[in-house]
């Protein structure tokens, strides 16, 4: 699905001031030369360009930037989100309240509950708080429990 979004919502961008020169250089390059340079780059050869046309293709690649919009996780979406946050700060002002959440999984009994251990969490006493060492071993042996705990904790918080 992400590959489809990437193909549908991708475009190439060239600086406005260099567009006329780019357009004329692009018209002079033949498709087989572009294919040869692309194959060379796919093999990992970043340096070798033998002919003038291949050098021209490399120079054109330096002038073009790949823009992805509406593709989750892409740099375009990140820039869009950052700009949204900046716009909100201009409109509403800087946030005046910051909150840092740090769920400690080493002492939390929910980890034991998620791992399948059976105990009564409602009637727990301070002596029943998990031991740091045994809880650490439990977490190290099954990190999925920790991610489930974190998801559960954040979902409950939000």
Query: Which band of pLDDT confidence, cut at 50, 70 and 90, is reported for residue 42?
Result: confident
How far is Cα 140 from Cα 40, in angstroms, rounded to an integer?
Answer: 44
Q: What is the pLDDT of residue 2?
A: 62
Q: What is the pLDDT of residue 59?
A: 77
How many CB atoms are located within 10 Å of the residue 132 CB? 10
pLDDT digits (tens, 9 = 90+) for 140-158: 888 888 888 888 888 888 7
pLDDT digits (tens, 9 = 90+) for 54-82: 888 877 777 776 566 666 777 677 888 88
Which residues neighbour 77 within 8 Å (Cβ) at sequence distance 6 or greater? 68, 69, 70, 71
pTM over 0.85: no
């Amino acid at each position: 699905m992400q590959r489809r979004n990437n193909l549908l919502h991708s475009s190439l961008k060239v600086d406005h001031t260099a567009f006329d020169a780019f357009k004329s250089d692009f018209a002079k390059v033949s498709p087989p030369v572009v294919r040869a340079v692309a194959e060379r780059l796919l093999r990992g050869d970043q340096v070798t360009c033998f002919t003038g046309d291949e050098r021209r293709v490399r120079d054109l690649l330096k002038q073009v930037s790949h823009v992805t919009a509406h593709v989750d996780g892409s740099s375009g979406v990140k820039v869009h989100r950052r700009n949204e946050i900046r716009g909100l700060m201009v409109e509403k002002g800087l946030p005046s309240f910051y909150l840092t959440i740090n769920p400690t999984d080493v002492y939390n009994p929910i980890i034991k509950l998620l791992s399948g251990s059976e105990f009564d969490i409602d009637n727990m006493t301070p002596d029943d708080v998990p031991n740091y060492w045994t809880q650490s071993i439990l977490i190290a042996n099954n990190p999925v429990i920790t991610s489930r705990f974190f998801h559960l904790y954040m979902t409950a918080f939000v």
